[in-house]
Amino acid sequence: MSRAVREDVAIIIPVYNEARVIGTVLKHVLKHFKYVVCVDDGSSDASYDEIAKTKAYVVEHPINMGQGAALQTGLEFSRQLPVNYFVTFDADGQHRIEDVKAMLSEIEAGDHDIILGSRFMGETVGMSGTKRAVLKAAIRFSNATSGLVLTDAHNGLRVFNRVVAEGMQITLPDMGHASEIPEIIAEKQFRYKEVPVTIEYTDYSKAKGQSILNAVNIGFDTLLRKVTR
Task: Please tell me the pTM assigned to this model.
Answer: 0.86
- For the chain, percent of residues with pLDDT exceeding 90: 69
Mean pLDDT of the chain: 88
Taking alpha carbons only, the member of 105, 133, 114, 149 closest to residue 6 is 105
Cβ–Cβ contacts within 10 Å for residue 39, how many?
A: 29
- For the chain, percent of residues with pLDDT exceeding 70: 83
Write the pLDDT tens digit of every residue in 138-183: 667 667 777 788 999 889 999 999 999 999 999 998 888 988 999 9
Confidence of residue 201 (pLDDT cuts 50, 70, 90): confident
Confidence of residue 222 (pLDDT cuts 50, 70, 90): low
* CATH of residue 139: 3.90.550.10
CB 95 within 8 A of CB 14: no
Question: Rounded CA gap, 68 and 180, in Å?
Answer: 9
Model pLDDT, residue 180: 92
**Any domain includes 60:** yes
DSSP 64-104: ---HHHHHHHHHHHHTTSS-SEEEE--SSS-S-HHHHHHHH
Write the pLDDT tens digit of every residue in 179-197: 899 999 999 999 999 999 9
Counting the structural domains of the chain, the total is 1
**Any domain includes 1:** no
**Any domain includes 196:** yes
Q: Domain of 24?
A: 6-228
192 versus 1: the higher-pLDDT residue is: 192
**Any domain includes 142:** yes
Is residue 12 predicted with pLDDT exceeding 50? yes
**Any domain includes 169:** yes
**Any domain includes 32:** yes
Taking alpha carbons only, the member of 107, 86, 119 closest to residue 196 is 119
**Any domain includes 85:** yes
CB 84 within 8 A of CB 161: yes
Is residue 226 predicted with pLDDT exceeding 60? no
Question: Rounded CA gap, 26 and 229, in Å?
Answer: 40
**Any domain includes 63:** yes
Element spanning 39, H or E: strand 33-41
